[in-house]
Each structure stands twice: as C-alpha cells, then as structure tokens.
C-alpha cells in the first residue's frame, strides 16, 4: 500500500533492552499501567499474595516496556538516580505506586530476570533452559539434579550397550588421572568441574553430538531445587514471557495437557513458595481466546488456569493519548503558548461538540486546548482512532510527537509557526505516499485512492477538505461526530461560507455527497453519467398520477395499520385499521367512496392521511370531512402541502424507472449504485415529510364521524379504535385461536377447517366430532365448541349469548325467506354486531344450523349441489353471491310418498348422503336407481308417455330435488301403486324390447326359431357368408344370445347402449342385408378354397406396395428356410396360416 511506509517508533525487546536507562527516563506514567504496576510491585514487597501475573493488551500499549522496567528494577540493574527519576514520575500522579516503589527500592533481594519471547519450543524445556542460561550468564555454581541423573544414565548405557564407547570413556578418565568410582561420587556431589569435564569429552564419544540436557522430567522439582539454591545466595527468579500468545498459537495438540499442567503448577509454586519466584506473562488476549478453534473443554480449562494469575487489561484509551501529548509537548525546549483569542474560540467550539466526553471542562482546557497546542482539538480527537487502526497505539503517538518528517508534529512546529496541526495533515503522517493496491482491506481507503485523481492538483483547500471527509469514513467516525458544515468549519479552521463553497465544488466533482439519512458528508464514488441532467430531461415529458404518488408515499409509512388493542384483548382476536393515503383532490371529488377503500384494504376501519395538494384548500377539506358521518373512517389533515415534496416525488419516480432500465444502467458500472443512493436520499426526504402524520404532530387535525377529536399518539388512536369496535361488534364470540381467527390463514389451518366441517357433517353426534390428537383441527374444535360449551346435539339451549344470538338471526332468516342467496346467511355472520372472520363462517354457519342443515339444499346456476364437504362449503362461502339456498319444511301429507320411495329405492341411496335430509336422501336413491338402468331405457323416446314423464321427473331430481318431490307427489300421491308399476315397467323395458326384436327378425326371414335361422344362413355360399353381416352374425351366434350377437355384428354397439338413432340404423341395415342381391355377390372376382369341407371365399384384389413387400418377405423366408425342412412341414405350416387368416 505504501511506497514510503511510515516507520513508527520501534517496539521494546525485553531481552535486548533490559536495564537501559533511557526507558526509565522516557517513561510516562499512564492510567492503563497503574493497576498492573502497583500489583506486581506489591507482589515483590509482600511474601503472601499473588506472585503470578498476566498482562493483556493490544500492540503499542507499553506491555513490553512495563516488563522491561519491572525486570530492570528486580535485577537491581538500575542506579539510584535513575530509580529516583522513575519514582518522581509517580510522586504527584499515584501515591500508592510511589509507596510501592519506595519499598521495592529498599528490598535487598535481587531477582534474576529469565526472559523468554514467542515460541521457544516445549514450555517446560524452554523455561528450564532459559533459567539455566540465566544462571550461567550470572556465573552461578548451581547444578540441577537432572544433569546428574542424565550423566550417570548415559555412562550406564555405554557400559551395558556400547562397550567400545565405554572403553574409550574409561581411557579418557585414566588419561586425565580420574578413577571411575571416585568420578561418579564427585558427580553425585554436584562437583561442577567433573560435570563440565564430561560435557567437554561427550562430543568425542558421540560422533560430535553436543551434550543436551532433557529437563522434561521432574519439572517443578528442578525449579524448586534451583530457587532453593538461589535463595541461599539471597537471589530470586523473575520469569518474564513476552509474546506468550505466539507460543500458545503454535503449541502442538499433544503438548496442550502437559503445558496446562505446567502452567498451573508453576503459578501455584510462585504463589506459595515464599517470595522466591515471580511470573509475568505478556499476551494480546486472554488465554482461552487462543483456543477457539479447539474444543470447549480446552477453552474452559485455560479459563480455569487464568484464575491462578492476576490479570491486567492494558488499553490504549483516548485520555491517555491526550495526557501523553500534553506531557511530551510541555517538555519541549521551546514550549508553545496558545493565543488568548484562539483559546477563547476553542473553548466556545468544544462546548458545542462533545469530542472528549471522558474529560471534564477543566481537563479539556488544560490538556486539550493549552497542553496539546498546536495540535488542533479535532486532530487530537482523530489521532487515537487512526493510531489504533493504522498504527500501534501509544507507540505511534510517540513517533508522531517526535517526528520531523512530513506529517510529523516536530516538522509542523518547525515549518508552520503558530499554526494549528489540522486533522487532514494526519493523512501525510499515516499515508505519506499511497497507491491503489489489491491488498488494501479498508474499503473507504480504496475509494479515496480512486477518487483522488478527480480533484484538481492546484486546489489545495479542496484536498484538505477531501482528506478530512476521507478520514471520517476510513475510521468510521460518523457515529461519533457528524460532519455537518459547522463542524467542518471548526475542524479546518475556515469560515462556514468558504467551507460551503468547497463542499459544492467537491459535489460537482462527484467525490462526496451529503447523506440525508445520516445528516453528514461522506465519500461518494459517482458514475461518469450526469444523472441530474438525465432526470431533468425525462421530467419534461413525464407526469405522475395520483395513484403513483400515493403508492410511493405508502412505502414510506413505518406503520401501515393500528390495532384496537383493548377490544382485541377482551375478544381474543385482531381488529385493526389500515392506513390509507388520500390526496385532497380525491376528497373534493364527489365519487370518493370510503366503503370501497375499506373493502379493498380488507380492514375493520380506515385511517386516512389526507395530503393537501393546495395548502389553501385546508379549511375547505376540513369542513367537507365534518360533513361525513362515516364511523369506520378516521381522517387526519396536516398543515403541510404536497408542494414541499413535489420535486422529490417526481425525481424518485423517475429514478425508480431508471433503475429498471437495463440499457441505461449498462452505461457505467457505478451508475446503479449512484441511482440507488440518490433514491435512498429522496426516500428519506419523503419519509420525513410523512413523519408529521406518523409522529402525531400537534398541527394535525383529526376528524371522526364529522367531529374533531384529539389524537396525541398511537395509544390514544388505538383506544378510539377499541371504542369503535366495541360499538360495532359487541357480540363477536370469543375464540382464542390466533392462528385461525384472522382474515387470511395458511394452508395447514385451511385444511384443518375443512376437516372440522367434514366432522360436523358426519359425526356431530359423537363426542368431540371424532376429532383425535392435538393438531390444528382439534384446537379449532376446542376453542369454538369446548371452550364455549357449544353442543350441536342441544342447539336449543346454547349457553353463549353471542352464539345464541347468531343462531336466532339465522333461523329467523330461514323462516322468513326459505329461498334466497347464500350471502343472506353469511352476511349475518360477517356484519355487525358479530363481524366474524372469514375462516370461521363455514364452521359457525353449519354448526348453528346443524339441526336444520339436512333440510337445506344449495344451487349454483340453477344446478343442485349434490354433496357438500368441508372444502366445498368453504368455496361456497367464499363465492356466496353465486349460490342459492332452499330451506325445505315438507308437510305431513308427503310422508306416505316418502315412505314408499324409501321402501322401494332405499337400497340405492349413496353412503355419502345417508345422514342428509329426506328429500336429498330420497332424490339420491331414485336418481341412482335410474342411472343403473340400461342407457337405452334412460334415453329412448319410443316408450309410453307416462313412463317418459316418470323418467323425466326422476332426472329432474339431480338439479332440483324439491320440484321432483313435488311433481311425484302431484302425479302419484293418489295411487302409489302406479308409481311402483311405472318403476317396474322401466326396469323390464329392455327385455321386452329384445323379445320384440327377435320376433320381428324371425318373421322377416320366415323362421320360427334360432335353429331354422341358423340352417337358413348355413346354406348360403361362402362369399355371402363372408360378406353379408346378417348371415355372418347368425352363423357366429349361439342359441342363448343370438340377437345380441347379430346386433354387435351389424351395428357394433351393445343394445344396452343404444339410442333411438341406433335402433333406426339397425332396422335399415337388417333390411339392406336381407335384400342384398346374391347374384351381385357371386359375380365378383373371388376364389374358393375348401378345407375339410369348409369353403373359404377369397376376394381378388390388387396388392398394394406395402402388401407386395410383406408377400416377398414371407415368400423369401419360406423358400430359404424351407431348404432345411420337409415339404410336408411347409405345407402344414401354410395350412395353419390359411386357417387362421382366411375367413
């Protein structure tokens, strides 16, 4: 990203910087270090308490510096004057730390710093190795038991397994005047000279391998041995593990348990083994956070281990930045004094902008205004955020304060006397020279780089403003302080008018924009297309309709309906009022229909937001609304006119159309984004306009039922709605089923409703309608019937006042109008005072009329609806205006007819209507009886007129059962036996007709029986037998069903399926076949073949191309295949073919 990367102040390395005086001299106390420094020093000063510590914090917060200072003090490597200098820094800042430092200075015990950094291998090995290295560096004569054991084990192994090596070892002993036994005793007595001698000769005996001590065994025991030995010399150990997180990140999985145990044991040893051992681990985050990729068990275990340490969080807070800045600037050889006028102006401005909320006014004046001068307060506000994201916190701050490079503070002071260091200059410090690079992760920085070439190079002040706005986006400061014009003027130390000019120039260059939604300025990557010019061109030929305006404004509404909460809570349902936007011109039009609007919205009431198209019409509109006495509509009139948003509306409309214009969008890759952003801005403006309605502005005038009412907020409006609903629908039954009691239900609830209706039709006498389980259908049953104690077996004693009232109204409607539209029944349920939701209506309707239901018949387009199911009833209710009902209440005089029909036709009644009313049941039985008769019987007109009339009445029962019953009564009530005779006559019609047909045919040919008929046909020659269908039919018939066989041969239709036309055609064909000329037949070209006395006639014809091909193929096959079979077999095969295929 950077060609010239800014090199920040190098970090501290405890190993290399231990004991350096400059860190003591340059150290500045910070609040974030106070707790950790105090507790760590207290651990050295007190024998009891915690001696194990973990410092946690981000880069650049001084963790390693703190470790360096503590290590230097513990090692007594700091002279008295340097130590006193450090103490003075805390003298007036923190008394407790000052006291701890004083006590620490008096402590005579010296601690050897054991410094580790990053991943140094196995934890226990790296700790022991570092301790031994420190002991050797301090030239201490301490030998750990592990070395002794390893030396003696190696010698024993040589003796037992490698005799040649052992022999060489003995030789070296003798050459150095040593005896093996005495040498072993000296090693066991920790004689360092003997141990060092063994180390020196070991490579010569192991092919050059160095003697490496394995400290893995008895880890804690070895450390205890060492600190005991050190204590004899009045020494202790301070183990400092910097970048400990790097070790944890790279730890091998198989070493995790061992490391956890070692950490725990080491912490316990430190805290309980007097004051000999101190631990300090430095990380960037808590231990458990390094193991998020591993199991929760590991995370929890490291969290438990953490509790054995004192944890200190060091953060880079903004107040620390300010205090450090003030401290550094006050120590300059040439301190800068802020002019009085400038100081006064800054005080005034900083009261307007809460940039330093963590400082009081006195601290702001002392540290920010005076102490940080010439750093501008806004620069001081921005610097910590920039440092945290693109630098290394306080380390970056020190680099900035001491840098004399471009962008550094010293460079500014030396080159720009008495001028503020403004926030835009931080760009030069953090990004001295940047170019577009795919590795840049910051999106805002990428945009900055892309937009930079658009700004003319000679416009320096444009660059300054652009950098300021870019900084705000790069470190996301918009949520902390908006970039309003006043604030930009303050931040750049320029006049407001001049800033406005600069902003306007940058807007024209399409590099920034004012975000109406957030209310501040931000970077903007616009397209190469002049969108404003395009909008203006389209505007000249575009108009926007009233409906289009309303549709756009409705999108802005945050709340599109209001609930009648009090009513809903009591009735356990949801009644609501939809919000409707209405323009004043619509109200002034006489065709305005509030009922139509309510029906379209499908709501219980309407809240009309009235928008004035001409503000002058306000009083006229209000007076007009006071004349409307519509209880279902609330009107709300604002004191604002649509002119305020007229341009925004048309622009939004045009931009919406442009977004869907793919040809236009393809002109530039950034065009869609630019249009989207502009649309969002306009939408925000439109939303703000509508907020005067949704926010219940005090200027609004509310009108209901012709009267002005006071509506202060949505709670008051919803209470008014509840009052209205109680007034309109006081008798709505309480049904606690939110999933079902609503205007629209899902498919699962819909099917459950069907099932409940089906159960009411079939099983209403059974307990719970035979509904089982706990599904949605059972919940419907429980909430409607069980909870309201509604029994369909005793509808004359309904407990619920609401259901009792509904039934009364339904029965009254049936008694007054026994014939009418289904809607006249459903409207009772839909309308006041009940207002049932649509999904409930089929269930309540059939339930409260169940004892009358079997006496109801329904028709559509004058066609009877034969079988009603749950699904069918829901469909009928949905289309209630298309269906008629008839309520049957037959007199006693019909009973004999009903009984006769039941006795005669009872077996023909369908199972599906067994529980229906008598008219339906009986009509179904008669109709089913007729349908099972032969078709010829059902359709022929060649029957007695009385039978025809009887058949017609029966057929009529399919579409109008009532009229069929009435006509049957009129015709047969006086003689029911005639009714039965007509029924029997139709049943015997076909058999009678067959007998008649047989006799007519025998008479025609002159025969008395089938045998004579068969003989007459048999004497005909073969060609007639083959070609005359009458003769052919007789020959192929049997004596039992010869007439049926002849019928099928001649007309091809069974007699049961005849019509009168078929009958006429049969008569004609019979005569034709009988009268056909035998000579004409015999004169035709034909061949006769006699097989076993059976003559077969074959007509000569010309073979078609296809037939010739078949013939050639058969001929070839027989000829070729016949070579391998006898002639007799070929002839017999041809015989079978002739027999099968020749009639």
Whether residue 210 sits in one domain with residue 220: no
Whether residue 907 sits in one domain with residue 871: no
Is 268 contained in some domain?
A: yes
Whether residue 1052 sits in one domain with residue 906: no
Give kind and range of the element (H or E) at residue 212: none
The pLDDT score that the predictor gives to residue 1 is 36
Spell out the alpha helix ranges (H) of 556-703: 565-571, 584-588, 594-601, 618-625, 646-659, 662-665, 671-694
Query: 62 vs 806, which has greater pLDDT?
Result: 806
Whether residue 219 sits in one domain with residue 92: yes
The pLDDT score that the predictor gives to residue 212 is 66
Whether residue 219 sits in one domain with residue 95: yes
Whether residue 209 sits in one domain with residue 220: no
Instruction: Report the distance separating Cα 186 and Cα 192, nearest Å.
Output: 9
Whether residue 745 sits in one domain with residue 621: no
The pLDDT score that the predictor gives to residue 334 is 67
Is 17 contained in some domain?
A: no
Is 318 contained in some domain?
A: no
Residue 195 CA to chain centroid, in angstroms? 72
Query: 1062 vs 208, which has greater pLDDT?
Result: 1062
Query: 98 vs 547, which has greater pLDDT?
Result: 547
Query: 704 vs 1128, which has greater pLDDT?
Result: 704
The pLDDT score that the predictor gives to residue 827 is 95
Whether residue 917 has pLDDT greater than 60? no
What would the pLDDT profile of 603-649 be if each residue is shown by its tens digit? 999 999 999 999 999 999 999 999 988 899 999 999 999 999 999 99
What would the pLDDT profile of 111-142 be if each residue is shown by its tens digit? 999 999 888 888 888 888 888 888 888 888 77
Query: 1061 vs 143, which has greater pLDDT?
Result: 1061
Lowest mean pLDDT among 354-358, 530-534, 931-935: 354-358
SS3 content of the chain, % helix, strand, coil (to 5): 60, 10, 30
Domain count for the chain: 8
CATH number of residue 93's parent domain? 3.40.50
Query: At which of 887, 902, 921 does a domain end?
Result: 887
Query: 921 vs 117, which has greater pLDDT?
Result: 117
Is 15 contained in some domain?
A: no
Burial 664-701 (b: 16+ CB within 10 A, else e): bbeeeeebbebbebbbebbbbbbbbbbebbbebeeebb
Whether residue 734 sits in one domain with residue 718: no
Pick the most confident of 187-201, 350-364, 573-587: 573-587
Range of the domain at 509: 336-523
Whether residue 830 has pLDDT greater than 90? yes
Is 406 contained in some domain?
A: yes
Are 551 and 540 in contact by the 8 Å Cβ rule? The answer is no
Is 648 contained in some domain?
A: yes
Whether residue 1077 has pLDDT greater than 70? no
Is 1065 contained in some domain?
A: yes
Are 587 and 612 in contact by the 8 Å Cβ rule? The answer is no
The pLDDT score that the predictor gives to residue 834 is 95
The pLDDT score that the predictor gives to residue 918 is 61
The pLDDT score that the predictor gives to residue 396 is 66
3-class state of residue 707 by DSSP: strand
The pLDDT score that the predictor gives to residue 293 is 65
Confidence class of residue 1081 from pLDDT cuts 50, 70 and 90?
very low
Average pLDDT over residues 408-435: 81
Whether residue 377 has pLDDT greater than 80? yes
Query: At which of 694, 725, 756 does a domain end?
Result: 725
Average pLDDT over residues 336-347: 85
What would the pLDDT profile of 31-54 be if each residue is shown by its tens digit? 677 788 888 888 888 877 788 999
pTM score, two decimals? 0.58
Instruction: Report the distance separating Cα 1086 and Cα 1072, nearest Å.
Output: 22
Confidence class of residue 1085 from pLDDT cuts 50, 70 and 90?
low
Question: At 709, phi and psi to the nearest 5?
Answer: -130, 160
Query: 648 vs 926, which has greater pLDDT?
Result: 648
Whether residue 388 sits in one domain with residue 512: yes
Q: Taking Cα atoms as reference points, which of 332, 329, 318 lies closest to residue 394? A: 318
Whether residue 663 sits in one domain with residue 550: yes
Average pLDDT over residues 1078-1092: 58
The pLDDT score that the predictor gives to residue 983 is 87
% residues pLDDT > 70 (the chain)? 91
Is 1 contained in some domain?
A: no
Whether residue 654 sits in one domain with residue 544: yes
Query: At which of 698, 725, 752 does a domain end?
Result: 725
Lowest mean pLDDT among 180-184, 432-436, 617-621: 432-436
Which two tokens mark 577? 């009022």
Whether residue 852 sits in one domain with residue 966: no
């Amino acid at each position: 990203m950077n060609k010239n990367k800014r090199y920040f102040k190098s970090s501290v390395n405890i190993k290399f910087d231990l004991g350096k005086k400059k860190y003591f001299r340059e150290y500045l106390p910070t609040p974030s270090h106070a707790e950790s420094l105090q507790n760590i020093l207290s651990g050295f000063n007190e024998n009891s308490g915690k001696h194990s510590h973990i410092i946690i914090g981000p880069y650049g917060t001084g963790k390693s510096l703190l470790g360096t200072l503590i290590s230097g003090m513990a090692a007594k490597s700091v002279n008295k004057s340097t130590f006193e200098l450090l103490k003075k820094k805390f003298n007036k800042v923190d008394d407790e730390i000052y006291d701890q430092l004083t006590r620490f200075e008096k402590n005579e015990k010296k601690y050897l710093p054991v410094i580790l950094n990053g991943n140094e291998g196995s934890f226990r090995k790296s700790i022991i190795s570092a301790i031994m290295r420190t002991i050797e560096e301090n030239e201490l004569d301490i030998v750990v038991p592990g070395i002794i054991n390893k030396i003696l084990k190696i010698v024993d192994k040589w003796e037992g397994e490698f005799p040649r090596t052992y022999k060489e070892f003995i030789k070296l002993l003798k050459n150095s005047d040593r005896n093996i036994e005495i040498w072993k005793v000296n090693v066991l007595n920790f004689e360092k000279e003997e141990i060092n001698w063994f180390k020196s000769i070991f490579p010569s005996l192991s092919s050059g391998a160095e003697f490496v001590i394995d400290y893995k065994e008895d880890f804690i025991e070895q450390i205890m041995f060492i600190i005991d030995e050190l204590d004899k010399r009045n020494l202790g150990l301070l183990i400092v593990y910097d970048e400990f997180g790097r070790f944890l990140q790279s730890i091998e999985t198989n070493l995790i348990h061992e490391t956890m145990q070692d950490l725990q044991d080491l912490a316990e040893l430190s805290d309980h083994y007097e004051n000999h051992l101190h631990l300090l681990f430095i990380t960037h985050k808590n231990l458990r956070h390094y193991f998020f990729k591993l199991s929760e068990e590991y995370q929890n275990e490291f969290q438990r281990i953490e509790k054995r340490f004192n944890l200190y969080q060091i953060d880079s807070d903004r107040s620390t930045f300010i205090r450090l800045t003030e401290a550094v600037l006050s120590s300059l050889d040439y301190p800068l004094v802020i002019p009085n006028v400038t100081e006064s102006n800054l005080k005034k401005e900083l009261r307007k902008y809460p940039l330093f909320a963590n400082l009081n006014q006195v601290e702001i004046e002392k540290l920010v205004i005076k102490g940080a001068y010439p750093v501008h307060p806004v620069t001081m506000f921005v610097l910590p955020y920039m440092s945290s994201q693109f630098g290394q916190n306080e380390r970056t701050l020190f680099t900035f304060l001491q840098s004399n490079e471009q962008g550094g503070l010293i460079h500014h002071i030396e080159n720009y006397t008495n001028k503020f260091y403004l926030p835009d200059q931080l760009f030069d410090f953090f990004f001295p020279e940047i170019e577009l690079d795919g590795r840049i992760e910051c999106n805002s920085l990428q945009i900055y780089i892309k937009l930079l070439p658009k700004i003319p190079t000679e416009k320096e002040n444009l660059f300054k403003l652009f950098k300021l706005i870019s900084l705000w986006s790069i470190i996301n400061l918009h949520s902390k302080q908006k970039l309003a014009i006043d604030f930009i003027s303050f931040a750049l130390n320029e006049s407001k008018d001049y800033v406005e000019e600069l902003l306007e120039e940058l807007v024209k260059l399409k590099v920034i924009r004012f975000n109406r939604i957030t209310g501040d300025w931000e970077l903007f990557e616009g397209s190469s297309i002049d969108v404003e010019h395009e909008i203006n061109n389209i505007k000249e030929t575009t108009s926007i309709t009233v409906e289009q305006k309303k549709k756009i404004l409705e999108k802005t509404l945050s709340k599109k309906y209001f609930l009648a909460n009090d009513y809903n809570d009591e009735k356990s349902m949801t009644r609501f009022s939809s919000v409707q936007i209405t323009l004043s011109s619509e109200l002034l039009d006489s065709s305005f229909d509030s009922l139509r609007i309510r029906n379209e919205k499908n709501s219980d009431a309407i809240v009309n937001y009235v928008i004035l198209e001409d503000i002058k019409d306000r009083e006229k509109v209000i007076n007009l609304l006071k004349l409307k006495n519509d209880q279902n509509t609330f009107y709300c009139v604002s004191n604002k006119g649509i002119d305020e948003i007229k341009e925004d509306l048309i622009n939004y409309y045009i931009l919406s159309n442009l977004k869907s214009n793919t040809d236009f969008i393809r002109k530039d890759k950034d065009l869609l984004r630019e249009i989207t952003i502009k649309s969002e801005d306009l939408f925000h403006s439109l939303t703000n306009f509508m907020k005067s309605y949704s926010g219940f502005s005090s200027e609004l005038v509310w009108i209901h039922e012709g009267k002005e009412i006071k509506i202060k907020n949505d709670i008051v409006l919803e209470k008014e709605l509840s009052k209205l609903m109680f007034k309109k629908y006081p008798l709505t039954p309480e049904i606690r089923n939110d999933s079902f009691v609503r205007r629209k239900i899902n498919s699962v609830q819909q099917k459950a409703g069907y099932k409940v209706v089906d159960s009411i039709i079939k099983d209403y006498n059974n307990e719970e309608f035979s509904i089982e389980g706990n599904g949605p259908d059972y919940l419907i049953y429980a909430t409607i019937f069980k909870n309201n104690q509604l029994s369909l077996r005793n509808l004359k004693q309904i407990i619920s006042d609401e259901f009792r009232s509904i039934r009364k109204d339904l029965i009254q409607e049936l008694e007054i109008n026994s014939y009418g539209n289904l809607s006249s029944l459903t409207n009772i349920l839909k309308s006041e005072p009940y207002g049932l939701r649509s999904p409930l209506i089929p269930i309540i309707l059939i339930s409260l009329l169940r004892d009358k239901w079997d006496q109801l018949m329904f028709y559509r387009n004058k066609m009877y609806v034969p079988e009603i199911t749950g699904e069918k009833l829901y469909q009928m209710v949905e289309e209630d205006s298309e269906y008629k009902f008839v309520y049957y209440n037959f007199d006693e005089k019909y009973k004999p007819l009903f009984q006769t029909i039941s006795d005669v036709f009872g077996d023909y009644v369908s199972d599906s209507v067994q529980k229906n009313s008598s008219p339906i049941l009986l009509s179904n039985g008669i109709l089913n009886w007729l349908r099972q008769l032969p078709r010829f019987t059902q359709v022929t007109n060649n029957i007695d007129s009385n039978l025809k009339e009887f058949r017609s009445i029966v057929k009529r029962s399919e579409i109008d059962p009532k009229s069929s019953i009435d006509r049957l009564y009129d015709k047969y009530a006086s003689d029911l036996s005639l009714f039965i005779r007509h029924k029997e006559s139709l049943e015997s019609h076909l058999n009678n007709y067959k007998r008649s047909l047989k006799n007519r045919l025998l008479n025609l040919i002159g025969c008395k029986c089938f045998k004579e008929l068969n003989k007459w046909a048999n004497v005909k020659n073969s060609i007639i037998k083959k070609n005359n269908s009458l003769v052919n039919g007789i020959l192929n018939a049997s004596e039992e069903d010869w007439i049926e066989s002849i019928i099928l041969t001649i007309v091809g239709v069974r007699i049961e399926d005849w019509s009168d036309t078929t009958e006429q055609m049969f008569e004609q064909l019979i005569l034709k076949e009988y009268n056909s000329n035998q000579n004409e037949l015999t004169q035709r070209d034909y061949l006769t073949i006699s097989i076993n006395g059976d003559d077969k006639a074959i007509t000569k014809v010309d073979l078609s191309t296809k037939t010739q091909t078949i013939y050639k193929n058969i001929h070839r096959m027989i000829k070729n295949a016949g070579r391998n079979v006898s002639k007799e077999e070929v002839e017999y095969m041809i015989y079978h073919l002739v027999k099968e295929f020749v009639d």
